[in-house]
Structure 1
Amino acid sequence: MSSTTPNKILQPLLVTVVILGCFMTIFFTYFKPSNYYWLNGQSTVSPHQVKSSISTTKNESVITVLVWLWPFGARFALDVCSSKYNTEGCFITADRNLYKKSDAVVFHHRDIHGDLSNLPSQQRPSFQKWIWLNLESPTHSPLLPGLNTLFNLTLNYRQDSDIKATYGLIVPAETEEDFVPPKKDKLVCWIVSNWSPNHARIKYYNELKNHIQIQLYGRAFRRYLSNEDYAPIVSSCKFYLSFENSIHVDYITEKFYKPLSLGTVPVALGTTRQNYENFIQGDAFIHVDDFSSPKELAEYLLFMDKTQDMYLRFFKWRRHFKSYPYDSWAERMCHVCVYLKLHKEYKSINNLNKWYWG
């Protein structure tokens, strides 16, 4: 056999090996198969799995607040923290699919089922805080079994709440100048929807009406006011009956703050005068406890109606301050975000029932 025969066989084989080697080099340079990590002594994880893992990692620079239950079923805009309230780094959502990524979950008390069946069934992430939201008084908040040690934080009107949610604030005025109240053509006004003969406010009104004329509005009197009509009506009254539906510490609602903001003097019935004065100067309002009877209050209001100079003294505080009523659930959620940015520590409510219902 001629010696050239093996050479004829080996040469094509060597060329094939070289070409195959070049191809494999180029292939592994630009493409890593799914077992690439196994080839490098690591567990088998595909590039798709890595990408998925990155996309579901919690963004530490943004606080995510999940609204689990819409308060009273009323939906509201969630993307307003930055544009409306100058609060950056807040992501407010109602998407329950983001439960595991949420820094906090807010639960509105009045919308929680008695058997707690509409609370999350998934395990709570270790970093996540559950927040109990309730702006109603204990009288109008059912005590539900199973909530006593369930929450990390409270969002409530009380001053000893973790996140304070008062119905309004007295804030500095932009400029210092004497306040001129709007034109008045009514002496005393009252708007009420929920009527219960057992309420202290109803008993007081039933006596007061015998001594002074009161302009009445609201569902209870079949004179419903639209949102557009509210401000013109209230601002046209010299005095407004800011009568709360129940009497509890710090429970001072929009019934007090809104008339203040509109240039009307509130006549308060609720917590003590001293408690009111924790929030506003004492000469900005009238308290029913200042008088021995509804008849004496009526006589005082009639006297104020005839003495303009004395009436204007109720607005001296407006030279330096103004009333800011909160009227947005969204703003409350932004407050939650701000709190979480400042408070990273662990917190837990160990006895909600005793704290709120006593």
Structure 2
Amino acid sequence: MACWAYLRPTLFSIVAVLCFLHLFLSYRSDIQYPNFGIYAGSFCPAFLCAEKAQTNESNPDNSTEIQAASMDAESDTLLLIWMWPFGFKFDLNCNSFNMSRCRMTDDKSLYHKAHGLLFHHRDINGQLSNMPKLPRLTFQKWVWFNMESPANSFPIPGLNRVFNLTCNYRLDSDIPVPYGYLEPVTSEDESFKLPAKDKLVCWIVSNWNPNHRRVQFYNELRKHVEVHTYGRAFGKPLSDQEYQNTVLSCKFYLSFENSNSRDYITEKLYSPMKIGSVPIALGPSRQMYEGHIPADSFIHVDDFSTAKKLAQRLLYLDQNPAEYMQFFNWKSLFKVKHTYFGRDHACKTCKYLQNHRGYHAVNDLNGWYWG
């Protein structure tokens, strides 16, 4: 009896605990509590989330961070602008791209939530000390962005196997963003009218290098036809309005690129086309230009064996307006659109991330671009 009196309180306590556990485990048994792995961003206790956020802000390169932003098709896409290109800040708004659920930020404390990071090549230092530390978060894509030709930007050895995607003017980049492009005209667009012109050939240039092919070609061309020259290279800098008025007054414009690189076709071509002057192209091959604009919308210097023969053709077209006007046939079908530097690259990157969830990597960036 003494033993029973001793054990009775203990047994009562055990039964009470078992009843409590039964009630607890059977209540809302439909709830599934996720493991604290990559899903912890969508469910975690307040104390853990607070501690996690504090850790992120103090160490954005913490590779052990819970990867909260695993690519959920229903969530907004977050693009982190890791560095402003040349320090130039642009509008973080993609409304003109007819896309939604895309957020862009330069807040590096959101590193562990960003689906993509955008890096501008010319702002990456050679030691990569202004880059986040490798390895990349598994769900995250790092995007290399550069609009300078290989001749005007230089490879950084440590960048191989760093990026997932490329964003560049080249048509074979993952996210191609040319300097300009043609899109169909609409009923709201005004019909083209050729502006009055009092000059045959013009050239506006700032960067003068006697070793550049464009300078050498110009020096030969001007022996056979007058070329009206402007820009800092000739001590005649122009404002934006002066530039437009000048190009308007010229029948032909020397759209001479400073280097010959694949798909490197800049505003030097698209601006005269938009304003109403016929570009004379020097840069990549004619075939490459024809991948961007109609074959009969421009003249290429390689169409002629010598600068003298090009000059003779220009003088002939000056006296034959019907043939000259054929260079503008494309105007009835297309209009020129310029790329907005920075913003368009970021918006197109965000859209790409939304539509391409699979894994991708760029293992030989330097070989692809500078090889």
Q: TM bucket by the smaller chain?
A: 0.7 to 0.9
What SS is found at the alignment partner of 1:312? Answer: helix
Residue 121 (structure 1) aligned with residue 137 (structure 2): no
* Cα distance in structure 2, aligned partners of 1:321 and 1:104: 34
The answer on whether the counterparts of 1:100 and 1:124 sit within 8 Å (CA) in structure 2 is no
State the shift of 1:86 in Å: 2.6
In structure 2, the residue matched to 1:33 is none
Change (3 A) 1:47 1:116: closer
Residue 77 (structure 1) aligned with residue 77 (structure 2): no
Aligned partner of 2:133: which letter?
A: S
The number of residue pairs the alignment matches comes to: 313
* Cα distance in structure 2, aligned partners of 1:314 and 1:98: 51
**Unaligned runs of at least 5 residues, structure 1:** 1-42
The answer on whether the counterparts of 1:240 and 1:259 sit within 8 Å (CA) in structure 2 is yes
* Cα distance in structure 2, aligned partners of 1:312 and 1:177: 18
Residue 309 (structure 1) aligned with residue 322 (structure 2): yes
* Cα distance in structure 2, aligned partners of 1:193 and 1:276: 23
Q: Which segments of structure 1 move beyond 6 Å, counting only runs of 4 or more? A: 53-56
Residue 62 (structure 1) aligned with residue 76 (structure 2): yes
TM-score (norm 1): 0.82
In structure 1, the residue matched to 2:99 is 87
Question: Which stretch has the larger CA shift, 176-185 or 198-207?
Answer: 176-185
Aligned partner of 1:63: which letter?
A: T
Q: 1:225-276 CA deviation, whole Å, 9 max, x = no partner? A: 2223322222221111010111112111111111111111100001111111
* Cα distance in structure 2, aligned partners of 1:137 and 1:298: 29
In structure 2, the residue matched to 1:151 is 163
Question: Which stretch has the larger CA shift, 180-189 or 237-246?
Answer: 180-189
Of all paired residues, the percent bearing the same amino acid is 50
Change (3 A) 1:318 1:48: same
* Cα distance in structure 2, aligned partners of 1:90 and 1:217: 43
* Cα distance in structure 2, aligned partners of 1:298 and 1:46: 73
In structure 1, the residue matched to 2:281 is 268
Change (3 A) 1:46 1:330: closer
TM-score (norm 2): 0.79
The answer on whether the counterparts of 2:157 and 2:366 sit within 8 Å (CA) in structure 1 is no
State the shift of 1:121 in Å: 3.2
State the shift of 1:141 in Å: 1.4
* Cα distance in structure 1, aligned partners of 2:131 and 2:222: 46
Residue 212 (structure 1) aligned with residue 225 (structure 2): yes
What SS is found at the alignment partner of 2:159? Answer: coil
State the shift of 1:125 in Å: 2.0
In structure 1, the residue matched to 2:47 is 49
Alignment root-mean-square deviation, CA = 2.3
* Cα distance in structure 1, aligned partners of 2:120 and 2:233: 26
Q: 1:107-153 CA deviation, whole Å, 9 max, x = no partner? A: 11111111111111375321111111111111111111101111000
The answer on whether the counterparts of 1:179 and 1:316 sit within 8 Å (CA) in structure 2 is no
Query: In structure 1, which of residues 216, 235, 238 is the aligned counterpart of residue 251 of structure 2?
Result: 238
In structure 2, the residue matched to 1:30 is none
Query: In structure 2, which of residues 157, 182, 186 is the aligned counterpart of residue 174 of structure 1?
Result: 186
What SS is found at the alignment partner of 1:170? Answer: strand
The answer on whether the counterparts of 1:243 and 1:269 sit within 8 Å (CA) in structure 2 is yes
Residue 142 (structure 1) aligned with residue 154 (structure 2): yes
Aligned partner of 2:118: which letter?
A: V
Residue 202 (structure 1) aligned with residue 200 (structure 2): no
The answer on whether the counterparts of 2:115 and 2:141 sit within 8 Å (CA) in structure 1 is yes
Q: Which has the larger radius of gyration?
A: 1
State the shift of 1:48 in Å: 4.0
Question: Which stretch has the larger CA shift, 232-241 or 103-112?
Answer: 232-241
Aligned partner of 2:215: which letter?
A: I
In structure 1, the residue matched to 2:270 is 257
Residue 104 (structure 1) aligned with residue 116 (structure 2): yes
Change (3 A) 1:119 1:51: closer
State the shift of 1:178 in Å: 6.0
Change (3 A) 1:49 1:160: same
Matches within 5 A, 1:3-18: none
State the shift of 1:203 in Å: 0.6
In structure 1, the residue matched to 2:175 is 163
Residue 325 (structure 1) aligned with residue 338 (structure 2): yes
The answer on whether the counterparts of 1:177 and 1:319 sit within 8 Å (CA) in structure 2 is no
* Cα distance in structure 2, aligned partners of 1:143 and 1:235: 39
The answer on whether the counterparts of 1:178 and 1:316 sit within 8 Å (CA) in structure 2 is no
In structure 1, the residue matched to 2:32 is none
* Cα distance in structure 1, aligned partners of 2:357 and 2:368: 23
